[in-house]
Amino acid sequence: MILKLHLDIIGPCLPDLTFLLDLDPAIGIARLKECGKRKFLDRMETEAVAFHQRVREGYLKIAEADRRRFVILDALNNPEKIFSDMLQSLKGNLEGGK
């Protein structure tokens, strides 16, 4: 469904490389609540954990189907590690591999 929606909106124009920051939805929601900087949550942020789990599964399915384009990164890692992994993937992509 996510891929169909994407194709309906953007068409066949896809990026060469996509980073998917994967995180268990329960952890993401807990992080959002801990942050406390925002007074209001949007409609998506107030959805149940089950909704976010379905969205996550949808994106992981897309990533598995298009492994050449997607790099799945563990969002439990610290920002420095995630950034380092992104740079490594970008360099590999620019050099012709992944």
- pTM score, whole prediction: 0.79
Q: Could you read off the pLDDT of 50-64 as tens digits, one per residue?
A: 999 999 999 999 999
Instruction: Give the pLDDT of residue 53.
Output: 97
- Residue ranges per structural domain of the chain: 12-94
Q: 12-94 maps to which CATH number? A: 3.40.50.300
Q: Higher confidence at residue 3 or residue 93?
A: 93
One-letter amino acid for residue 58 of the chain: G
**Other beta carbons less than 10 A from residue 17's beta carbon:** 16
pLDDT at 23 over 80: yes
Alpha helices by DSSP H, the chain: 2-10, 25-35, 49-65, 79-94
Q: Could you read off the pLDDT of 61-76 as tens digits, one per residue?
A: 999 999 999 999 999 9
Reading the block at residue 32, the tokens are: 């959002």
